Structure 1
Amino acid sequence: MQFSRLGSSKLDVSRICLGSMTWGLQNNQHDADEQINYAISKGINFIDTAEMYAVPPSKDTYGKTEAIIGDWLSRHSEKREQLIIASKIAGPGLSWVRNGTPISGQSVIEAVDGSLTRLKTDYIDVYQLHWPNRTSPHFAKHQPGQINFSHVNAEQETADMLDILQGLNECIKAGKIRHWGLSDDTTWGINTYLKLATLHNLPKPVSIQNEFSLLHAKDWPYLIENCVHEDIAYLPWSPLAAGFLTGKYLDGARPEGSRWTITQRQGLFRDTQYSNEATKRYVNVAKQHGLTPAQLALAWCNQVDGVTSTIIGATTMSQLKENLTAFDTALSTQVLADISEVFKQYPAPF
């Protein structure tokens, strides 16, 4: 297993981060135990979760994933210090989470305490803001004209961000979290927090996790360049485009028990004509070079300059094992050239 430094922290994380969002809905405690134990046996030391999980989010599944991890930790306390556990506070919009209110310094403190209780641990290594209070160009809102940035009150947003940062600082001083990071945010979000941290002598973010894959690479090159030069770890989530890049959803297919057979809060926005066409092309490239489509997509993500650790998730052990093999795969110049040809034709398929 290869490791990378997590931004400006002193933590070394495995190049693979085990995602957990299906635990508590599609996967039960036994499944999660099996995945965690196998991942650790392969050298993975990085696990990502969130108070909002399992997904799709609901009042009934809120907090279940953290509780499942906490159950495992209660039976393997001797391994806690070997692991880097990351969790996230939900942003505004979920009525069953703090009545859907925006993130504040006080809600950070309250949410951290809730996560610590469910995780059955004294500290969280990296605590992340799941999405910002303002609307950000994530979840298919990145096409021109979908968001009006000019209508945002930047001064008020900045004041709210300072309040959040102060709440995070309180948690760090109390030893409840070691570091903090962002998720589903932008270059402006990163740099505003960095500016505030410098001005007020507060802790800087060490990481950001955003959606990133062959079907959704909008963060390259500008946001990732910013991360590299500001020492912010870049953590891609959904590197398989919610499973689309495996090819299993091509032409409307919906395998029994798969994620896309479950109602999605944001809808199946990745399922477009162009995503379908691009995925068919990537599947063909994989076959030509003796790879599975998942291996091709994950190996490509891993080799992107600036990527620190890729968050993968699986509902079955066979999926997990296949995904892990991708990170031992070095893509040849010809494979990368073939991928590039497809990418040029479908740079933003959804």
Structure 2
Amino acid sequence: DDVVIATKLCGYSPRIDWIRDGGKTPRVDAKNVKESVDKSLKRLGIDTIDLLQIHWPHRYVGGLFGGQAYDPANDRLDDDVPFEEQLRALKKVVDEGKVRYIGVSNETSWGVASFQMAAERHKLPKVQTIQNSYSLIVRSSYETDLAEVCAPRNCNVSLLAYSPLAGGSLSGKYCDVDDPATNPLTKNARFSLFPGYMERFQKSRAMEAARKYADLARRYGMTPSELALKFARSRWFVASTIIGATTMDQLRENLDAFEGDRDLPEELLEEVDALYRVYRDPAQGV
């Protein structure tokens, strides 16, 4: 009861067909859901997954992972899996006792609302969580849209915020480094090891914004990571914040951010919002 085990089900992606038997394109249908869940249970050595999340929508979605705006010309209408069909596939593994609850990830307001309407109409399992990117530099898509849809009085879906450090850019470690690939502090960090990965946090005003937030954190006696994680934790719609660490020092710093009062000082939040008005989602569309 002290541990919640969550995992994900791959969304539609012809590029990663190696994860399915026979090299088939992953889909969110009954066959793929069963294969994914059974393999996850075997790998994890457990009988039940507490939370199974669809990693990204089966349908085409604009703006995914920093991509370009939605264009209806890119819809895959001839290769769709309706929301009801996806829920029925998930209901089967829930009824079998293999999964307790279901969630979505990288989803939109349209997707969340459509899943919940289909669940109510056909008495199918409801989506409980949404795992989307949320941080000091990625805010508006949730705050101005999904927050209303997911509010308790509406669809009642809790946010599991991922990338609260924006790929590490909000940790401050890149702020004063000319060449991350050769600097001892960053040469083994992801932006150095995987050039081009998460470019939206590197080749944009995002890094400039990260420097400003790092300076703000230090003025309030915090590390940059501490401010970023405490900010995400302080939001009313965030149920949990997903952290990652490659060293024990990083893990300690991350965990320390969750000690003490959940609320941040009002004057600090005012300064955060002032910076946000200048650097409003600087990584979007990069």
Alignment equivalent of 1:257, drawn from 188, 193, 199: 188
Distance 2:247 2:112 in 1: 35
**Residue 313 (str. 1) matches residue 244 (str. 2):** yes
Instruction: Figure out how many residues of one structure are paired with residues of the other and give that number.
Output: 266
2:223 is matched with 292
| Secondary structure, counterpart of 1:82 in structure 2 | coil
Confirm or deny: 8 A CA contact 2:200 2:206 kept in the other structure: no
User: Alpha-carbon deviation of 1:259?
Assistant: 1.6
User: Alpha-carbon deviation of 1:325?
Assistant: 1.5
TM-score (norm 2): 0.87
1:299-334: per-residue Cα shift (whole Å, max 9, x none)?
111111211111111111111111112122542112
| Secondary structure, counterpart of 1:125 in structure 2 | strand
Report the aligned-residue RMSD. Answer: 1.9
Alignment equivalent of 2:266, drawn from 324, 328, 333: 333
Distance 1:162 1:266 in 2: 34
User: Alpha-carbon deviation of 1:257?
Assistant: 1.7
2:113 is matched with 191
Closer, same or farther: CA 121–133 of 1 in aligned 2, 3 Å: same
User: Alpha-carbon deviation of 1:268?
Assistant: 2.3
- 1:64-213 map, 5 Å: 81-93=1-13, 94-98=16-20, 99-136=24-61, 137-141=63-67, 146-149=69-72, 152=75, 157=80, 159-213=81-135
Confirm or deny: 8 A CA contact 1:272 1:349 kept in the other structure: no
User: Alpha-carbon deviation of 1:139?
Assistant: 0.7
1:63-115: per-residue Cα shift (whole Å, max 9, x none)?
xxxxxxxxxxxxxxxxxx43110000112221312233322122001100000
User: Alpha-carbon deviation of 1:262?
Assistant: 2.4
Confirm or deny: 8 A CA contact 1:240 1:297 kept in the other structure: yes
1:230 is matched with 155
User: Alpha-carbon deviation of 1:335?
Assistant: 1.2
Confirm or deny: 8 A CA contact 1:179 1:205 kept in the other structure: yes
Distance 2:118 2:197 in 1: 32
Q: Which runs of 5+ in 1 are unaligned?
A: 1-80
| Secondary structure, counterpart of 1:231 in structure 2 | coil
Aligned letter for 2:155?
E
Confirm or deny: 8 A CA contact 1:206 1:232 kept in the other structure: yes
Closer, same or farther: CA 327–268 of 1 in aligned 2, 3 Å: same
Distance 1:154 1:305 in 2: 36
TM-score (norm 1): 0.72
**Residue 239 (str. 1) matches residue 159 (str. 2):** no
Distance 1:96 1:265 in 2: 23
Aligned letter for 1:336?
L
Confirm or deny: 8 A CA contact 1:302 1:310 kept in the other structure: yes
Aligned letter for 1:239?
P
Closer, same or farther: CA 270–304 of 1 in aligned 2, 3 Å: same
Confirm or deny: 8 A CA contact 2:180 2:187 kept in the other structure: no
Alignment equivalent of 1:279, drawn from 203, 206, 210: 210
1:345 is matched with 278
Confirm or deny: 8 A CA contact 1:247 1:279 kept in the other structure: yes
| Secondary structure, counterpart of 2:5 in structure 1 | strand
Distance 2:113 2:121 in 1: 12
1:219 is matched with 142
Aligned letter for 1:347?
R
Confirm or deny: 8 A CA contact 2:115 2:127 kept in the other structure: yes
Distance 2:129 2:47 in 1: 21
Closer, same or farther: CA 297–168 of 1 in aligned 2, 3 Å: same
Confirm or deny: 8 A CA contact 1:225 1:306 kept in the other structure: no
1:10 is matched with none
Distance 1:90 1:262 in 2: 25
| Secondary structure, counterpart of 2:7 in structure 1 | strand
Closer, same or farther: CA 265–95 of 1 in aligned 2, 3 Å: farther
